[in-house]
Amino acid sequence: MISLDRVLTLGAGGMIGRYVDFGMRPTHEELDVLDEDAVMRYVEECQPSAIIYLAGATDTQTCESDPLYAYELNVRGVYNAVRAARVTGATLVYASTSRVFKGDKEGPYTESDIPEPTTKYGLTKYLGEVVAATAPRAIIARTAWVFGGGPLRDTKFYGKMLGKLRAGDSDIVALNDVQGSPTYAKDYVEAIKDLLTTGKEGIFHITNAGSASRFELAEALAKELGVNTPVRAVDRSHFAGVTLPANEAVVSEKIHLRPWKEALSEYLATEWA
């Protein structure tokens, strides 16, 4: 069993990291995950029982145009954390993604499915998984379509869509031919806490229950806001030059969280009120 006050989180300043309210949470200025010696010194001094690696490259478009950027944070940084974990015997938790899969399966991917990434982002995240698995004990925590952080940190789909809906934008579009698994970052962190305190290891898909398209998410956001701003459904051909898989939905054979609509409702009520 792992004591949460001895958990080190790398990348605690991001969207997911803000929900980590336990253990050691150095800022990027205090500890650069790409500084191999600094990571080793910090871990040797603090002797964490677990290391949560949240410091990944999450801008998927930048990852495609700059693969080195993706490799540095999604692979080399993980290696630095694993190297330190080997010395101290710490459990390594690696935050991964549904993008490690090809995206053409009928129905959600499970932990039993074999990764087959088709993008540079997905490939570096999968390589990160391979590296993380060499830690003394490892938890690979895959997720998808994460929301959280409120107005200051929610800068991707959810935050942008909320801004447009509130402003009554005259031409809001959302994809209706891509399925994913909406996930509240708060619930994701709670699931990781449970895995650590119960001594679990292995690969886990951590998402809220159910799947949706971006269009269905936009409609749900509009309903929660109580606005009548219209949203137009479009398919992937609307966004020329952007490569998106048809299926980014994952489901777990081991973990079961509350439905995404319930989580989304709480998120808007508590962080966007």
Backbone angles phi, psi at 256, to 5 degrees: -130, 115
Residue 273: pLDDT band with limits 50, 70, 90: confident
Q: How high is the pLDDT of residue 221?
A: 97
Q: Do domains 4-147+181-205 and 150-179+211-246+258-271 have the same CATH topology?
A: no
The answer to whether residue 121 scores a pLDDT higher than 80 is yes
Q: List, for residues 144-179, the tens digit of each pLDDT value.
A: 999 999 999 999 999 999 999 999 998 999 999 999
Share of the chain above pLDDT 70, in %: 100
pLDDT bucket at 104, cuts 50 / 70 / 90: very high
Domain boundaries 150-179+211-246+258-271, corresponding CATH code: 3.90.25.10
What pLDDT shows up at residue 181? 98
The pLDDT value recorded for residue 243 is 77
**Stretch 133-140: mean pLDDT, rounded?**
97
Please name the residue that has the structure tokens 């934008």.
169
Residue ranges of E strands in 109-178 = 137-143, 146-147, 172-175
140: tokens are 């690979």
What is the pLDDT at residue 159? 96
Q: How far is CA 108 from CA 178, 217, 250, 255, in A?
A: 12, 17, 5, 14
Provide, for the chain, the percentages of residues in helix, strand and coil under a 3-state DSSP scheme, each rounded to the nearest 5: 40, 20, 40
Question: Which residues partner with 213 through β-bridges?
Answer: 179
The pLDDT score that the predictor gives to residue 125 is 98
Q: For residue 240, is pLDDT > 90? A: no
Domain ranges of the chain: 4-147+181-205, 150-179+211-246+258-271
pLDDT digits (tens, 9 = 90+) for 23-53: 999 999 999 999 999 999 999 999 999 999 9
> 146 to each of 29, 52, 168, 249, 260, how far by Cα in Å?
25, 17, 24, 12, 10
Please say whether the beta carbons of 111 and 195 come within 8 A: no
Confidence (pLDDT) at 94: 98
In the chain, what is the straight-line distance between the N-terminal and C-terminal CA atoms, in Å?
38
In the chain, the percentage of residues whose pLDDT exceeds 90 is: 94
Q: Which residue has the higher pLDDT, 142 or 59?
A: 142
Chain segment 14-30, per-residue pLDDT in tens? 999 999 999 999 999 99
Architecture of domain 4-147+181-205: 3-Layer(aba) Sandwich (3.40)
- Alpha-carbon span 256 to 263, nearest angstrom: 13
pLDDT tens-digit readout, 184-226: 999 999 999 999 999 999 999 999 999 999 999 999 999 999 9
Within a 10 A sphere around the Cβ of 109, how many other Cβ atoms? 23
Average pLDDT over all residues of the chain: 96
Of the pLDDT bands very low, low, confident and very high (cuts 50, 70, 90), residue 271 is: very high
Does 239 score more than 90 pLDDT?
A: no
